[in-house]
Structure 1
Amino acid sequence: MTEISSPMRPQMSFAGFRTIGRWWLLLALIASLFAFAAGRPQMLDGGNIVTILRSASIMAIMVLGLTWVIAAGKIDVSFMQIAALANMTTAGLLAQGSGWALAALCGIAIGAVVGLVNGVLVGRMRLSPLITTIATGGVCASAAAAIGAGTSIRIDDTGLLGDFLAARLGPVPLIALFVAALYAVAWWMQERLTFGHYIYAAEQNEEALVDVGVPVHRLLVLVYLISGVCASVAGVLLAASLSSGQPMIGSSYFIDGLTAVFLGGMMIRIGRPNVIGTATAVLLLAVLVSGGALLGWPDYQREIIKGALLLAGVAMAVRMGRALDGFARGGRS
């Protein structure tokens, strides 16, 4: 028995570490929710849960495309300013008497154009993704401010989009169910289609993909285009949610967006951004914001915790990767 069980232990330990490494963020989400509830029972009130899901849903849409940009080994720091520009474009057109359909389509089209520009500059012209998206983000921020002359634009009627955001199916907001379906489709694309495989391969070895005939430049254009569209859709939804256009709204989503994607990369595919990890991290951040508000934490404390959470996630991923390698070698020996 000793000779049989001894070589089995590394394999069992390896499986245990792999399971913990893949799902630790979900466990952290559940633990955080109940930890806040222990201090403030209203954390689990139906109204508060609805608020958490609604705010997390909009953020999840905003960073869905960003997840794939970073998974491909690139960066996009213009996503939040694209959302702000789409937000102000929608509000500005509504203020001029346009209907919601036209205003929303124009806001989304603006995001698509900026995403396409980012993709062409990075994917085809091979410019630095960081410098490129800093520049386009700056242009978007300036344009958003110019639309409202530096001030917000009030929206008197949020229309059908406002009704959609307020709607529930039982206790669950309809927008949360829509986002869950959207992420399920995105997961299928990421895991089952060559599109998803090429994204991760591009991060590993872009030149090798080019050598075998994969049009990497088109792939990069596409992921930046998706990022721009997702950010602009979130901006339009924020216009209906806040009943206003806010030119400075992008700054509040910068840290949260990047944290969600990088922290989400510490789950499922350890060290590699993925949509399920991003969705879980977005929920974790929403719980942190809500719980911190109920406990009376000032904003700076919540920002410190978010930064610490990101660093802890990266440290855990590195440590877990080393442990997994060690168990794998032990299992093979």
Structure 2
Amino acid sequence: MTTVQNPSQLEADRPDGAIGVWHATRRSRLASGARFALPALLVIFIIVFSILEPATFPTLSNFTTILSTQSVLALVALGALLTLIIGEFDLSLGAQMGLAAILLPGLTAHGVLSIPVGIIVSIAVTMLVGLANGLLVAKLKVNSFIATIGTAALIGAVMLAYSGGSAIFDGVPPELLLIASFAPLGIPGPVLYVAVISVLVWLFLKRTPLGRYMSAVGGSKDAARLSGINTERVTIITFVLAGALTGIGGVIMAGQLGSGNPAVGPSFLLPAFAAAFLGATAYTVGQFNVWGTITAVVTLATGVAGLNLMGLPNWVEPAFNGIALLTAVAVTRYLRGKPL
């Protein structure tokens, strides 16, 4: 005799039935509650480290230093954000930032170029690198991991050849420091740069057709193509814009150092991606977003600064960033309903 199961039982036994609905509901509830988990973590860091290090941590000088020193990382993270939105990775962003940071002092040393012209040329070079990355990915269909790893290696070689492996400081105009040292109303210039650029990037992503096309391409290239979007053009422009942001970051770095250091750059890549992925767990959960990324940069920097003030060794920072990246990727993929 054949037994007919209850339809509701059959639905519950299906992976995409009641169990799937339950998982989706749980993800939705977690996402709703997670929106402000990252800023809450920032507040917790501030409170805990203020208690543990009352003489050094809760000071205006410390907070100003954190925000100012993280301005370059914030711009590299915004560059990573743009490429992640279209579903690609640019692993040359740190190298691009380092390239601009060494080009500007080199080009302006001994008065070869004025500082404004040097800034324009440095940013233009990183935009050309972004263009090359975009063409490799969009036109030649090279995987973005492979393409940008290769680009990063080439940039590293160019930097070593240009600098001879040594810092560039001879003949660099002292006025270069004004890029980062001026502080209207006591607000460090780099903080103002990041604030303005963040607003512009947010408006671009939310209020312009190209910004919406980028989200569509990241959602599904095939669907975007069928809807009439030129996905190749969007991809190329995105990589160019990411290059522009990292170029600006390199200019600020040069202004902070007052010289060119060929070792600067690659170390920014991991924390930049950690911030972008961690930012996707905040505000607009499951989506890469500007304000989540900026909050993540500040949160990571605050945590690292607090741990350093407690006298922990220098390996804490990369370990902290690595754990943050792994956690953020796992949480983001879960909240977006994708397998880990």
Q: Give the TM-score range, shorter chain.
A: 0.7 to 0.9
2:83 matches 1:69? yes
The equivalences for 1:1-333 within 5 A come to 17-41=30-54, 42-98=56-112, 99-154=114-169, 156-159=172-175, 162-317=177-332
Q: Which moved more, 1:272-281 or 1:306-315?
A: 306-315
What is the aligned partner in structure 1 of residue 9 from structure 2?
none
Using the size of structure 2 for normalisation, the TM-score is: 0.85
Task: Please state which structure has a larger fraction of its residues in helix.
Answer: 1
CA distance in structure 2 between the partners assigned to 1:33 and 1:167 by the alignment: 27
Contact 1:266 1:314 in 2 (8 A): no
- 1:172 shift after superposition: 2.7
State the alpha-carbon separation in 2 of the partners of residues 272 and 15 from structure 1: 13
> How far 1:268 sits from its partner (Å)?
2.3
Which protein has the larger Cα radius of gyration, Structure 1 or Structure 2?
2
Q: Aligned pair in 2 of structure 1 residues 14, 253: CA closer, same or farther (>3 Å)?
A: closer
Could you say which residue in structure 2 is the equivalent of 1:3? none
Superposition deviation, residue 165 in structure 1: 1.8
Q: Tell me, in whole angstroms, the C-alpha distance in 1 between the residues paired with 2:308 and 2:301.
A: 11
Offset at residue 74 of structure 1 (A): 0.3
Kindly provide the CA deviation profile for residues 68-123 of structure 1, in whole angstroms up to 9, marking residues without a partner as x: 10111000000111111111111211224232122222211110110111111112
**Secondary structure of the equivalent of 2:118?**
helix
> Aligned partners of 2:159 and 2:260: how far apart in 1?
9
Tell me the CA shift for residue 206 of structure 1: 0.2
Query: 1 CA distance for matches of 2:190 and 2:335?
Result: 35
Partner of 2:3: none
Instruction: Show structure 1 runs of 5+ residues with no match.
Output: 1-12, 323-333
Structure 2 gaps, min length 5: 1-25
Offset, 1:302: 2.3
Distance (whole Å) between structure 1 residues aligned to residue 69 and residue 210 of structure 2: 29
Identical pairs, percent: 28
Output one character per residue of 1:219-273: Cα deviation in whole Å (capped at 9) or x when no partner: 1111100111111111111111011111111122121111111111222232321
Q: Distance in 2 between matches of 1:223 and 1:35?
A: 39
Report if the CA contact (8 A) 2:35-2:281 is conserved: yes
* Number of residues of Structure 1 aligned to a counterpart in Structure 2: 310
Letter aligned with residue 106 of structure 1: V
RMSD across aligned C-alpha pairs, in angstroms? Answer: 2.2
Letter in 1 for 2:286: G
Matches of 1:170 and 1:39, distance apart in 2: 30
Which consecutive segments of 4 or more residues in structure 1 shift more than 6 A? 13-16
Tell which deviates more after alignment, 309-318 or 277-286: 309-318
Post-superposition Cα deviations, 1:145-198, rounded to whole Å, max 9, x if no partner, equal 111101111165341x52242222434323313321221221122223222222
